[in-house]
Chain A
Amino acid sequence: ETGVTQTPRHLVMGMTNKKSLKCEQHLGHNAMYWYKQSAKKPLELMFVYSLEERVENNSVPSRFSPECPNSSHLFLHLHTLQPEDSALYLCASSQGLGRYEQYFGPGTRLTVT
């Protein structure tokens, strides 16, 4: 595997379900990110981890819970989501924080019913 991978690619879940999104980077990077992309809207940064420490939490509802067990893996745990949470969730990594290029995974298309 190369680059940034995300699983699953598609997820349909009910509002009472609990699920997790997984991201793995094979680039030796130190920073990882979760973004949300809704239709025709800019990417919204949700969480940032640097060296496995969370450095940013952009007013994201607590029904989204990130986890970074090591510098290669990032999870987004989901519970009691709302239909408006349906979106494309993108993971990215970069060499560090700052003016570094971010490498993105293909995203997880989430539908909340």
Chain B
Amino acid sequence: DQQVKQNSPSLSVQEGRISILNCDYTNSMFDYFLWYKKYPAEGPTFLISISSIKDKNEDGRFTVFLNKSAKHLSLHIVPSQPGDSAVYFCAAIPNSNYQLIWGAGTKLIIKP
């Protein structure tokens, strides 16, 4: 049973618009969340993280929002650029552990 779910396998967005990637989790013990980005033939690279004591974290064009009551987080990319086309993984860490629990990923396609 997946504890971290990314229900959209793919998402297509026009260049310049906002991309919103969603992630849901089931384990209330998760207290740290991360987003990774993966290009083909490369390993995942860290993008942005958020602790459960916050509800928002921003880094340039990337903002992660956390809604603990809904057990939901989202990654906003604005404005979207062609280089943002990649697979985005959501991951979570429980407060009792250090292991990352990963979602299955969402493939983001930015259309010119």
A interface residues, Cβ below 8 angstroms from B: 4, 40-43, 45, 48, 56, 90-92, 97-99, 101-107
Contact = CB atoms under 8 A, between A and B. Distances in A.
B43 A90 contact: yes
Contacts of A99: 32, 49, 51, 93, 98
B46 A98 contact: no
Interface stretch (B12-20, B56-64, B70-78, B99-107): B99-107
A98 B98 contact: yes
B98 A42 contact: no
Interface of B: 2, 4, 9, 32, 34, 41-46, 49, 51, 89, 91, 93, 98-105
A3 B43 CA distance: 11
16 contacts: A4-B43, A40-B104, A41-B104, A43-B44, A43-B89, A43-B100, A45-B99, A56-B99, A92-B43, A98-B98, A99-B49, A102-B100, A103-B43, A106-B41, A107-B42, A107-B43
